[in-house]
Structure 1
């Protein structure tokens, strides 16, 4: 009961904050979408259509109170909207599994449209950081228990270690490991540049603790995707830093500490990366990717959402018995093959275009901020989002999360940074003069966000 009451109070806190600062309604939607309070609480909030209500408040709050300085039309916005149109066309005209496709279309379309909406309401440095802090807060609830349990007793593949059960979304080990590592560069950015929280020993220790927990969470899931993500993050951060010796030594120390946490079971699981030919899970992914290429050749415009449900793959057993195994409805397990199989070559072109456009946009922001005094925060955030995007692009090659929010939040944030750079260059935005020690207060947050509190 106490858990339900606590979660419900957080939900209504976003509603109250949104009355003074309408962009907070959008933060509330991010929290609901990520934390999924209806799956965590036992009562009270489970009776409320939390996502629909918060989405309505976010859109209504913007239309009624916050329609000022709309962002210019960007390439990312055009690509996202075109993608939304295309997935709708494939769902209603090309779907090979119509009923299942309609179910996925319902939530995937919301993800696309909300990511297009974010740049309209997240317009300043304070608002961008508020978005990051809320997203981190919501995600921490998922990866913190896994990380702590791994430190105490070790993890395990396929074990339910988080607050939400099941084997989808953030309750699935590979996805959780990828998202936790995606957040690591963002955590390091917030530790150095936060303006919403006081910068002192306590917050510094908290950020470091959360960063360490993301790593132990990735290890504790026993997901091979986590190993790939750690390699990408480690290499990218090493190349970005100007203190390569210190960072290198710290990386070795962290790696040694993580190895102490691992067990023979973890080592056996990870070692299958190099022996995929004899490992059922890895080999089955390669087979379904091969099937997807053939399917795309026959359905170049895509087969609609969940088109994998029609696959039937015959292969020889890997145990030496020479028996023929039939595998049906094997999921894509890759964002690239997922989009190719479901949305065809036009959808894949739009999806890859979004990634390329986002990366180039972040590069432009970083280059401008690097030579502009006082823009260290913008430069470092652009760098952090680049690493996060690269991490998800690498990990996404082995998990099917092409339409889950994490990638689209990165796309939207890159647009927010690009718009912020434009406003700073034209004098439409100003550099904050100092830190906010009590930024959780509604009037202060509203004032710093540039939103006049509503009566």
Structure 2
């Protein structure tokens, strides 16, 4: 039954992506971020994302919907980053595994660029935020409830066969989505809706702690600091954060505290020493090769050449050193430039959105995007999620929001007729009176 329901939803997205490709973008994002087909019995091996992506690209050229091919500075930098990865590919030290990951990264980045072309309205942006929140919130809320039920004795893991399968990766994804949930809550009017979202955010934070990820703990701390700084009433915000933090931490067991305390004694922790060795390997490799080593360089043969300790093979577990080792200093510069630009664009939204009541929601969005990016910048320093979709979706929201604000799109949308759904549905399904037959 679950597989059938999922197949119907995917089929609906596929059909509508041809006529309205922005629906395809939302569907692609849902499939790529949440991977719902991995939760099914018979669809987990089917090329669902490829089908949705293909329909969206086809719809991009045949649709009559509005499209915007103008390029933002973030879009141009992303294109340069893609070009650079194409240049470095032939120089990969391990070409075959590098080529496989290169294909996946190119697909993701291409759809990010397509999203910047197709998404243009407030409705599109709000729906994208909801898709991101639902995709990660499904695992985060469930993981938070699991952590409370087990007293934090077991780790929270992500969905199998995905970018966020590991406990560290799913924790960072959860941390990045909490500010988006807060943004949605700020737009809500009903008290029950706000209360429900508060409960969900608390469970999400509980899930991040339940992952036993030290990087996630640092990301939560950074996110909380920026969120407090962005708040209007800092005294009340500080008290609320302290109370909530104490309540959440009181649930965690002794083994969780022992693991978190290893942050202070990293020089005695084998995992931390492995990461430091991997970072040293990436640095040495990038200094020796201008094009980097290509994707998938974290193997014993390459550590034997560039690793400070040749026998201590470890994944990068850092978005910065991962890009440095794989794409060299030029690739890392483009990667950092992209997200620094996204940060400042979100900051402009936060400041300029206050000018009009119709754009206040963009100010809220810009502030929360910065909180999410802060969590990614800190948590990503200890996790390998350099090429995953979610951070780039934050860039999409910042770019489309800035374009919407600069072109005063709220004036255009105010002129569009507003559909009052209760009256519309009543008229749509109202039984028509039978026409009297002539004698």
Is 1:350 matched with 2:334? Answer: yes
Q: What does 1:173-192 correspond to in 2, within 5 Å?
A: 173-192=167-186
Partners in 1 of 2:137 and 2:419 — Cα distance?
A: 24
Partners in 1 of 2:280 and 2:68 — Cα distance?
A: 45
CA deviation after TM superposition for structure 1 residue 66, in Å: 4.2
Correspondence for 1:107? 104
Partners in 2 of 1:414 and 1:212 — Cα distance?
A: 26
Match of 1:283 among 265, 273, 281: 273
CA deviation after TM superposition for structure 1 residue 200, in Å: 2.1
Cα distance, 1:180–1:295 mapped onto 2, change above 3 Å: same
Match of 1:311 among 303, 309, 312: 303
CA deviation after TM superposition for structure 1 residue 155, in Å: 3.5
Correspondence for 2:56? 58
Is 1:214 matched with 2:207? Answer: no
Post-superposition CA distance 1:389-430 (Å, at most 9, x none): 111011111011111112111122211111111221795554
Post-superposition CA distance 1:32-86 (Å, at most 9, x none): 101213311002x346421111001212222211453515221111111111111
**CA-based RMSD:** 2.4
Cα distance, 1:247–1:435 mapped onto 2, change above 3 Å: farther
Partners in 2 of 1:268 and 1:189 — Cα distance?
A: 34
Cα distance, 1:52–1:165 mapped onto 2, change above 3 Å: closer
Correspondence for 1:255? 245
Correspondence for 2:140? 143
CA deviation after TM superposition for structure 1 residue 349, in Å: 1.0
Mapped contact 1:160–1:171 kept (Cα < 8 A): no
Is 1:238 matched with 2:228? Answer: yes
Mapped contact 2:175–2:205 kept (Cα < 8 A): yes
Match of 1:76 among 62, 74, 77: 74
Correspondence for 1:165? 160
Partners in 2 of 1:380 and 1:345 — Cα distance?
A: 35
CA deviation after TM superposition for structure 1 residue 202, in Å: 3.5
Partners in 1 of 2:394 and 2:35 — Cα distance?
A: 20
Correspondence for 2:312? 327
Q: Which runs of 5+ in 1 are unaligned?
A: 316-324, 445-455
Partners in 2 of 1:245 and 1:432 — Cα distance?
A: 42
Correspondence for 1:449? none
Cα distance, 1:426–1:301 mapped onto 2, change above 3 Å: same
Mapped contact 2:22–2:115 kept (Cα < 8 A): no
Mapped contact 1:71–1:419 kept (Cα < 8 A): no
Q: What does 1:192-211 correspond to in 2, within 5 Å?
A: 192-193=186-187, 199-211=189-201
Correspondence for 2:83? 85
Partners in 2 of 1:71 and 1:138 — Cα distance?
A: 28
CA deviation after TM superposition for structure 1 residue 5, in Å: 2.3
Partners in 2 of 1:435 and 1:286 — Cα distance?
A: 57
Correspondence for 1:319? none
**For the pair shown, which has the larger CA radius of gyration, 1 or 2?**
2
CA deviation after TM superposition for structure 1 residue 161, in Å: 4.3
Partners in 2 of 1:431 and 1:234 — Cα distance?
A: 39
Post-superposition CA distance 1:80-99 (Å, at most 9, x none): 111111111211x2100111
Q: Which runs of 4+ in 1 moved over 6 A?
A: 431-438
Q: State the TM-score, normalizing by the size of structure 2.
A: 0.89
Q: State the TM-score, normalizing by the size of structure 1.
A: 0.86
Correspondence for 1:388? 372
Match of 2:389 among 390, 402, 405: 405
Q: Which runs of 5+ in 2 are unaligned?
A: 429-439
Mapped contact 1:149–1:161 kept (Cα < 8 A): no
How many residue pairs get aligned? The number is: 420
Mapped contact 1:145–1:161 kept (Cα < 8 A): no
Match of 1:415 among 393, 399, 418: 399
SS at match of 1:273: coil
Correspondence for 2:117? 120
Partners in 2 of 1:278 and 1:8 — Cα distance?
A: 50
SS at match of 2:408: helix
Mapped contact 1:156–1:222 kept (Cα < 8 A): no
SS at match of 2:227: helix
CA deviation after TM superposition for structure 1 residue 314, in Å: 6.2
Cα distance, 1:98–1:292 mapped onto 2, change above 3 Å: same
